[in-house]
A = this chain, B = another copy of it.
Amino acid sequence: MTVEKRGVFLFRAITPVLVAAFCLASVAARADEGMWTYDHVPAKQLEARYGFVPSQAWLDHLRLSSVDMYASASFVSKDGLILTNHHVALGAAQRLSTPEHNYVRDGFVAQDLGHEIPVPGMTIKVLESIEDVTPAVNGGVKPGASPAEARAQREAQITSIENDCMKKTGLKGQVVTLYGGAKYALYRYKEYSDVRLVFIPELQAAFFGGDDDNFTYPRYDLDMAMLRAYENGKPAHVENYLKVNPEGAKDGDLVFVSGHPGRTDRLQTLAMLEYARDAAMPFGLNRMKEVRALLKAYSSKGPEEARRARTVLYFMENSIKSMEGELRGLNDPELMAKKRSQEDALRLAVEKSPELSKEYGDAWKNVESAIEWARGHENDLRYKMDVGMGGRGLLGTALQIVRYSDEVSKPDQERLEGYHEAELPDLLRWVQAPAPVYKDLEEVTLTYGFEQMLKGLGPDDPFVKAVLQGQQPGALAKSLLEGTKLDDPAFRKKLLENKGKAVAKCDDPMITLARRMDPVLRETRKAFRDHVEAVEEAALTKVAKAGFAVYGTDTYPDATGTLRLAFGKVAGYPQGTTLVPPFTTFYGIFDRAYGFGNKGDFSVPARTAAHQADIDLKTPLNFVCTADITGGNSGSPVVDREGRLVGLVFDGNAQSHPNTFVYDEYQARCVAVDVRAILEALRKIYGAGNLADEMLESSR
């Protein structure tokens, strides 16, 4: 699942989130479509299709039971027990592992509260309330402002609203741009910053079938993990948590998914999709495949190397399969024809009305000119915005530290995104977290980044000269990593003290390189924002408003990484010459394992094998439903009409990737772990019946 679309914190800080948009046509009559905000649920659609209208109390309860952890999760007991995916907690398990305790390979079960392990740097949050702040945000824009100026003015308003929120309510505020900028909403969050690992199964059970089975269904994965929120050193007492339906869901049942879909591009114009299809995505895909090959070569050196590279390699495989799926969608003539006919219909309606035409008519052309600019600056955008794997690794940390020291002295509203006052606690926590650093692994990816830059821009480019200073990529990466002390958390902490005063004089080689790079990176980013992002954003806001004007407001916004409610039914689907079943069972683990000779990624997980006689093998393990989800929904609870937990989203099937652009329920499915498998596994496989009991007792 594409957790990394949201999950890697830094990526989010230095790469602008694509503008939030919405689906063009009204969906009232259309299928199980939509990722709805909690203040705008599709009551008519639900009533028409399922004869069900959720009450406000029902909605509030589900919202407050939902947990945002840069992916999705939920409270499942009154004592702050959190259910999410294995692959969401994998990074934490990896960081907590040591050569003596390999929680990724072996899993972890806390015998009791005292054995639950704090996860450094992890915070989770709950969406307490939503407020429409559209007038306040737009009120900051001065008449006659250019798109870039308007954007800056809105950002200043947003920063001020967010800061006020914290001051007034003690809640973290986030202004979310919805419907392509046609609406702004203030989301207020309660945060929990003491989160502990309670239970995680071994990787083989959670990720049975490995990369081959990723994004696949039928599937046999116990992709679950449990954490617990603490307050004041004690398990947090939460008012809202999900009760469990130990009977699970049946084929055809109505179900709901509450989670944080990261990104959809359903508002994007055809020109944008074509550029993605023909240029941006093939380039990105190729880059990821090259990095994957390097990581595999590194992994093959030995078991310790394999362990070190596993998480990043997993994310890489994941991203590749995901992007390939999206690209398949964009290369599907039917899908593009559907987009084209939607776009043509809206443009025609706009053209026919003098008023709409004047207001919004230039939107599509403006997008095209932004793409034209991007096409003319492709090399800059490719090699001067993203060095060292999107800011991951020590070079990314160095850039953050350098920028922090620069930005923190500016007025809040003039700072770069990611460095506003309200964002600093996250940033500082992340940069100082004592995560392990593997310099040999970083050397591989850093060398690749420098090589790509050299190849793309050429040796005579001033930026290349400034970075390499006459050295070869490999030699530079090696000497940087040998010389830097940034892998020491204490050193990083020291640098950040006193608003980063020491950074300017610091002669750590990674920091000095970051200082040489930063001006060019800033300049490139600013040019991209002004010429592409701001223009596209303004244009898409117009497209969105035109959509409102033509079709009304009975629709949902594009995904923004914030809490959404989706719905659908449990349903298998036709594929090839046969049918795919709605459920899989524990039997399937054994069938698939022995079908491949019970080895490698297809071996029966050791604990499952050991407890085979105890397990009721016909217990449903995974299931599929038609709910409209995407990357970031990993860990979302699936609930029934009564709001009771019946499943845990962990993936979409391969056919769901084009959902990024157009929803389709013929074969696209959301894949979930069945709650019955969760209870069965806790009791029969992991000796963690106490956790099953805690969920069930809280359900009474």
Whether B577 lies near A585 (C-beta < 8 A) is: no
- Is A321 at the interface (CB under 8 A from chain B)? yes
- Is A617 at the interface (CB under 8 A from chain B)? yes
Whether A577 lies near B321 (C-beta < 8 A) is: yes
Whether B617 lies near A590 (C-beta < 8 A) is: yes
- Is A262 at the interface (CB under 8 A from chain B)? no
Whether A585 lies near B578 (C-beta < 8 A) is: no
Whether A590 lies near B587 (C-beta < 8 A) is: yes
- Is A216 at the interface (CB under 8 A from chain B)? yes
- Is A493 at the interface (CB under 8 A from chain B)? no
State how many angstroms separate the Cβ of A289 from the closest Cβ of chain B: 15
Q: A610-634, CB under 8 A of B: which get 1 and which 0?
A: 0000000110100000000000000
Number of copies: 2
8 Å CB contacts to B: which residues of A202-259?
209, 212-216, 218, 250-251
Whether B576 lies near A595 (C-beta < 8 A) is: no
- Is A463 at the interface (CB under 8 A from chain B)? no
State A216–B212 Cα separation when bound (angstroms). Answer: 20
By a CB distance below 8 angstroms, the chain B residues around A587 are: 587-588, 590-591, 594, 617
Whether A577 lies near B251 (C-beta < 8 A) is: no
Shortest beta-carbon contacts, A-B, top 6:
A581-B595, A588-B591, A587-B591, A216-B578, A577-B654, A587-B590
State A620–B598 Cα separation when bound (angstroms). Answer: 12
State how many angstroms separate the Cβ of A317 from the closest Cβ of chain B: 11
Q: List 27 A-B contacts (CB under 8 A).
A: A209-B578, A212-B577, A212-B578, A212-B579, A214-B577, A216-B577, A250-B597, A321-B577, A572-B596, A576-B654, A577-B654, A579-B596, A581-B595, A583-B594, A583-B595, A583-B597, A584-B591, A585-B595, A587-B587, A587-B588, A587-B590, A587-B591, A587-B617, A591-B591, A594-B618, A594-B620, A595-B620
Can you name the residue of chain B whose Cβ is closest to the Cβ of A218? Answer: B595
The interface of chain A, by Cβ under 8 A from chain B, is 209, 212-216, 218, 250-251, 321, 325, 572, 576-579, 581-585, 587-588, 590-592, 594-597, 602, 617-618, 620, 654
Can you name the residue of chain B whose Cβ is closest to the Cβ of A580? Answer: B595
By a CB distance below 8 angstroms, the chain B residues around A216 are: 576-578
By a CB distance below 8 angstroms, the chain B residues around A591 are: 584-585, 587-588, 591
By a CB distance below 8 angstroms, the chain B residues around A250 are: 597
State how many angstroms separate the Cβ of A596 from the closest Cβ of chain B: 5
State A594–B621 Cα separation when bound (angstroms). Answer: 11
State A578–B584 Cα separation when bound (angstroms). Answer: 16
State A218–B588 Cα separation when bound (angstroms). Answer: 12
Whether A578 lies near B618 (C-beta < 8 A) is: no
A-B contact sample (10 more), CB < 8 A, given A212-B578, A587-B590 = A209-B578, A212-B577, A214-B577, A216-B576, A216-B578, A250-B597, A585-B595, A587-B594, A588-B588, A588-B595
State A590–B590 Cα separation when bound (angstroms). Answer: 11
State how many angstroms separate the Cβ of A309 from the closest Cβ of chain B: 22
State A325–B583 Cα separation when bound (angstroms). Answer: 28
State A421–B588 Cα separation when bound (angstroms). Answer: 57
By a CB distance below 8 angstroms, the chain B residues around A596 are: 572, 579, 581-583
By a CB distance below 8 angstroms, the chain B residues around A617 are: 587, 590
By a CB distance below 8 angstroms, the chain B residues around A654 are: 576-577
By a CB distance below 8 angstroms, the chain B residues around A582 are: 595-597
By a CB distance below 8 angstroms, the chain B residues around A618 are: 590, 594
By a CB distance below 8 angstroms, the chain B residues around A590 are: 585, 587, 617-618
State A596–B583 Cα separation when bound (angstroms). Answer: 7
Can you name the residue of chain B whose Cβ is closest to the Cβ of A590? Answer: B587
